[in-house]
Chains A and B, each alone.
Chain A
């Protein structure tokens, strides 16, 4: 199939960027979206142009490295990551607009690559449990209710790709934050640090310049792991408890 690609090009973090248009022929419907971009880059290299920079790693939909705003949707039209999006979701002659995640907390480094280390610092500031090292404890010594374990597991599927921030008109990372708070706060192992954790992580979220949540739900719709909106309610409830406890 033949495609028209409109892609954000930006030389580096301080340069001004602009949308550039490219024509790409010979795209197979079996290609993944990133393979399509690989094909474009081969064409650009042949003609002596700078290839388009974009993030990717596992290309299996599990690492959270790929991003891209595709035709106004984070990770494109399917509920999956960009690497697992295939060209059969598009038709011959389509124009595809590709932009980087837009948020001041995710500054563009080059072309479609953004700096998502703000997420790492949110995790660093409380997104963990403290456990003794040594041999692994007996698995059944700490009982976890099944419904809480399932909810925690579902929240733990968050891969930290940042689609929630990209889709949010307020540039809020509440879905990411809520997923981590629910993941750690629902299990017995997460209880000792539960309220100091939410206080620190929310403070880091605000410090990084992410916006507030208006509960519109664009984040949950964009999430490739289908994290539901109720993790944000959990986040709010835990923060409310943290306020009461004087954090």
Chain B
């Protein structure tokens, strides 16, 4: 692919770094979203009525200025746009990387890259599949695997996580989310050019660990405590 010509008529918005900036920006939208989502899920510890009231409240934010579920739809559209941007940029960058390094080494040692950084792409696919299932499970389809009612958010949650294999699926997904957030948080800050010193780089790594543990750990509490019977009907 080597060339001999110099590029003229440069457009920075078409560069790989511009794609990376798009990934970083959309990634930060997701980090903020999962943080709020995780916090909201903890309402399950407050019991049936509090949880369902919270679920209903999300739909009435901003009323009567906004219609019912208006604010929710604004958020959903933002998330869908971010998801499309994040996935499209990831696919473009993945293809680019595969073309740039088509031949594998016979022997290759990884010296400093973390497991999380090396699993971003497959981990991302895992998360995408999980998100599709998760939306079928609780939002679009409302699937109750134990055959119970689906119109009561709290009961649907308890029925779902009382099913051990579904809890296992969710916990694996949270592991994938933790890994993705661990490297993703650091990587986003580095891509935005905010880690120009050793101190700021170390802080970005610590933030990566914190975000991963708080969010993936916080999400895991509800399924685990449901399975152990602390959260029940």
Contact = CB atoms under 8 A, between A and B. Distances in A.
Interface of A: 6, 8, 19, 69, 71-73, 97, 99, 102-107, 115, 117-118, 121, 124-125, 167-172, 199-200, 202-218, 220-222, 228-230, 232-240, 242-243, 247
Given A216-B113, A216-B114, A239-B17, A199 B10 contact: yes
A113 B19 CA distance: 32
A103 B111 CA distance: 19
Contacts of B113: 216-218
A240 B198 CA distance: 21
Contacts of B120: 214
Interface in B90-114: 93, 96-97, 99-114
B12 interface: yes
Given A204-B6, A218-B112, A236 B193 contact: yes
B15 A208 contact: no
Majority SS at the chain A contact face: mixed
Interface of B: 1-7, 10-13, 15-21, 93, 96-97, 99-114, 117-118, 120, 183, 186-187, 190-198, 200-201
B97 to A, nearest CB: 4
Contacts of B201: 229-230, 233
A8, A222, A233, A239 — most chain B CB neighbours (10 Å): A233
17 contacts: A97-B107, A102-B103, A105-B1, A125-B7, A170-B101, A202-B12, A208-B2, A209-B2, A209-B100, A211-B99, A212-B93, A216-B114, A218-B110, A237-B196, A239-B17, A239-B193, A243-B21
Given A203-B7, A230-B196, A235-B17, A103 B101 contact: yes
Contacts of A105: 1-2, 100
A170 B177 CA distance: 23
